[in-house]
Amino acid sequence: MTDRSLLILPGDGIGPEVMAEVRKVINWFGTARGITFEVSEDLVGGAAYDAHGTPLTDETMEKAQSVDAVLLGAVGGPAYDDLDFSVKPERGLLRLRKEMDLYANLRPAQCFDALADFSSLKREIVSGLDIMILRELTSGVYFGEPRGIHMEGNERVGINTQRYTEGEIARAARSAFELARRRNNKVCSMEKANVMESGILWRDVVNEIHAAEYGDVELSHMYADNGAMQLVRAPKQFDVILTDNLFGDILSDCAAMLTGSLGMLPSASLGAPMENGRPKAMYEPVHGSAPDITGKGLANPIACILSFAMALRYSFDLGDEATLLERAVESVLADGARTADLMGPEGGTPMSTTEMGDAIVAK
């Protein structure tokens, strides 16, 4: 079967190191399960700049538009800090997100029992936690006009505008409800309809889409400030959280700390459905290029491997295989497998990047 096309963009820093471990997982699915992927690989970020003088070539952009899923490692690093803004590694990533119109950013916060003591909260609050935050990514206060700093009388005024159209809210809401149907049929939408017009519209549109198309999904609403409090007080009450760009930025970082290391966190960015009904999609670990540990074999490949598990589930309709992979990760952690970032103060000898990848494949 060649209908599962995947573009791999390892990028910079530890990106290629963690991606090599995903390659092993992909190969395992081919040999052990007969599930094959049409994999192509290309450059992005500083690596693309070094080769082509641009962080993303038009050819790579076109390829990204044509495949079922893009899997990205990380971009950036100190070698590129002094480059002109227009060719910075991060611009490659932003161009991908923008041109693919990836408006729904999914960040799971999942706490594996073996790591529950790593959380910033008590074990019983986070053990078994499995929630998903859907952050609207292409609109809101980060993009709304007018914006800028100007003089008013004799003082400066800084202005940003929170702006959402009905259509932007509706498509994010649909993504959240679709997601809920694949999980536990529960969505909590967060805004501040008590003080913001865009929040009032957000709540109205979410209710309308729900009533018209997703009556089977349980829907609740919460003000985002209360949501932040509940996320820390009792996070297991949630399943899918739907929220806007700014609140999503804050709430997803908050949720990340419930689970422990940055080296564990995957993400997906989804756009509109393609002809085959699946969304345009890019998957990437939440962490960056980690220049401080690059080339030392210290990187934890789990965030990138779990990003591939999300691709299995959301782009390839291979939910059972995604679960299998997540179980393998959970199980090696339960056996005590630890990369350096997962070691407690008691110390010990950490596993290398490749040893962790091998352990997951073996499991």
Binding site for ligand ATP (CB under 6 A): 14, 76, 262-263, 287-290, 292-293, 299-300, 303, 341
Give the C-alpha separation, 265 to 262, whole Å.
Answer: 6
Catalytic residue, candidates 24, 142, 317, 363: 142
Residue 257 near residue 120, CB atoms below 8 Å: yes
Nearer Cβ to ligand ATP, position 204 or 292?
292
264-323 residues near Mg ion, rule: CB under 5 A: 288
Determine whether the annotation assigns residue 97 to a binding site: yes
Determine whether the annotation assigns residue 79 to a binding site: yes
Indicate which of ligand ATP, Mg ion, none lies near residue 341 (CB less than 5 to 8 Å, by partner kind). ligand ATP
Q: What Cα–Cα distance (Å) separates residue 220 from each residue in 108, 140, 187?
A: 19, 21, 6
Determine whether the annotation assigns residue 87 to a binding site: yes
Show Cβ contacts of residue 29 under 8 Å, excluding neighbours closer than 6 positions.
Answer: 35, 36, 37, 321
Determine whether the annotation assigns residue 353 to a binding site: no
**Annotated catalytic residue 253:** yes
**Annotated catalytic residue 130:** no
Q: What is the nearest approach in angstroms of ligand ATP to the Cβ of residue 233?
A: 27
**Annotated catalytic residue 216:** no
- Please provide residue 284's backbone torsions phi and psi, each rounded to the nearest 5 degrees: -160, 150
Q: What Cα–Cα distance (Å) separates residue 352 from each residue in 8, 195, 278, 344?
A: 22, 50, 35, 16
Indicate which of Mg ion, ligand ATP, none lies near residue 271 (CB less than 5 to 8 Å, by partner kind). none
Q: What is the nearest approach in angstroms of Mg ion to the Cβ of residue 287?
A: 8
Determine whether the annotation assigns residue 253 to a binding site: yes
Catalytic residue, candidates 249, 317, 358, 363: 249
Determine whether the annotation assigns residue 288 to a binding site: yes
Determine whether the annotation assigns residue 206 to a binding site: no
Q: How many CA atoms lie within 13 A of 150 on its CB side?
A: 6
Determine whether the annotation assigns residue 78 to a binding site: yes
Residue 17 near residue 47, CB atoms below 8 Å: no
Indicate which of ligand ATP, Mg ion, none lies near residue 95 (CB less than 5 to 8 Å, by partner kind). none
Q: What is the nearest approach in angstroms of ligand ATP to the Cβ of residue 302?
A: 8
Nearer Cβ to Mg ion, position 50 or 253?
253
Q: What Cα–Cα distance (Å) separates residue 277 from each residue in 128, 271, 274, 315?
A: 32, 11, 5, 10
Nearer Cβ to ligand ATP, position 271 or 301?
301
Nearer Cβ to ligand ATP, position 90 or 213?
90
Nearer Cβ to Mg ion, position 260 or 288?
288
Nearer Cβ to Mg ion, position 133 or 332?
133
Catalytic residue, candidates 192, 214, 244, 280: 192
Q: What is the nearest approach in angstroms of ligand ATP to the Cβ of residue 256?
A: 11
Indicate which of ligand ATP, Mg ion, none lies near residue 266 (CB less than 5 to 8 Å, by partner kind). none
**Annotated catalytic residue 249:** yes
Indicate which of Mg ion, ligand ATP, none lies near residue 139 (CB less than 5 to 8 Å, by partner kind). none
Give the C-alpha separation, 69 to 100, whole Å.
Answer: 11
**Annotated catalytic residue 239:** no
Catalytic residue, candidates 50, 58, 225, 320: 225
Indicate which of ligand ATP, Mg ion, none lies near residue 263 (CB less than 5 to 8 Å, by partner kind). ligand ATP
Sheet containing 186-191: give its strands across: 38-41, 5-11, 69-74, 279-285, 266-273, 104-110, 130-136, 240-243, 186-191, 218-223
Active site residues per annotation: 142, 192, 225, 249, 253
Residues that bind Mg ion (CB under 5 A): 288
Residues annotated in a binding site for Mg(2+): 225, 249, 253
Residues annotated in a binding site for NAD(+): 77-90, 288-300
